Amino acid sequence: MNKKRALVTGATGQDASYLIEFLLKKGYQVCGMYRRTSTDNLSRIKHLVGVSDFSLAYGDLQDISSLISLIANFKPTEVYNLASQSDVGASFKLPLQTADITGVGVLRMLEAIRQIDPTIKFYQASSSEMFGKVAEVPQNENTPMNVRSPYGASKLFGYWITRNYRDSYGMFACNGILFNHESPRRGDNFVTKKIVKQMVEVWKRERECVELGNLDSKRDWGYAEDYVEAMFLMLQAPKPDDYVIATGETHSVREFVEETAKQLDWTIKWSGDGINEIGTNQFGDVVVKINPEFYRPAEVDLLVGDYTKAYKELGWQPTTKFKKLVQLMVEAELNG
């Protein structure tokens, strides 16, 4: 029997590394697409290079010819589009690049699939950032979207163009509206990894403190390894649809700092006016300082997802809760 073949874009990223591992265990042939760079950025998937049924190929969401060529040559049965400019803060500084990669790049991939083989199943990595200034709590598939960043706007275009190709051309195209999902493989520019990495460095006396922005911003944080299973399940469903993937719990950045501190046997005491705030441990050391420069021009204050539809229709639910997630990240950083 011929093996299923999956093309995974953004192969060097956190989600792709877990998804590629997952698909290989399922017996897939997997091709990881990544952009050509001048430096080696394969650290998350180095352990997979040379593994049977896994290959890497250059491709670029800004270049449709590279997508057409890759799809025509590899002949995937499923495409998982995880590539994007994924830094929300950076999207304010790079709005055009973000729109072209994260938004229009989805259209290029869909059009490449339509031209080569419209029976290929397609997964689009959508984002809870599309909800922006939320209209209701929790957020589900029917919640109105009110984006607050160029990143969110770009993801919203990708979301709607995926639905458009599904409705217009009968393609099996799904959106996974994923809420924040973290892991030890998270990039250093994301707040959770920044907290864990830099607090461990403070604990080791390698730096003085961590500088953060809005401590009261609340997010629904899950575990990336749980979430890639949901991506897979969407493309195995009888019909294409869109699904919120979340934990149903919300925690503030402040809580993430405090839980990280607990893993290091610290307690955090906060003082200041909320804007110029500091957090000290029980020894009086300054562990956290608030730097107003890290505030976004337009903040998303509260995100928490309702994954009921995914549970009922896909049989998916999260298995790793907030405290366990922080523990996994701290232990990996301490042992890394």
Q: What is the pLDDT of residues 157-215, one digit of tens each?
A: 999 999 999 999 999 999 999 999 999 999 998 999 999 999 999 999 999 999 999 99
Q: What is the pLDDT of residue 48?
A: 95
What per-residue confidence (pLDDT) applies to 291?
87
* pLDDT score, position 39: 64
Residue type, 255: E
Q: What is the pLDDT of residue 36?
A: 79
According to the model, what pLDDT value does residue 272 have?
A: 85
Q: Are strands 218-219 and 278-280 parallel, antiparallel or unpaired?
A: unpaired
What per-residue confidence (pLDDT) applies to 1?
55
Instruction: Find where tokens 């990336």 sit.
Output: 224
**Which pLDDT value is given to residue 207?**
95
Query: Which residue is associated with the tokens 């991939």?
Result: 109
CATH number of 5-183+221-248+302-320: 3.40.50.720
Q: What is the pLDDT of residue 329?
A: 98
CA distance linking residue 107 with residue 157, whole number of Å: 9
Neighbours of 241 (CB within 10 A): 17
This prediction has a pTM of 0.95
pLDDT single digits (tens) 294-315: 887 767 789 999 999 999 999 9
**Contact yes or no for 31/49 (Cβ under 8 A):** no
**Spans of the chain, pLDDT less than 70:** 1, 38-40, 298
Quick one: how far is CA 248 from the chain centroid?
17
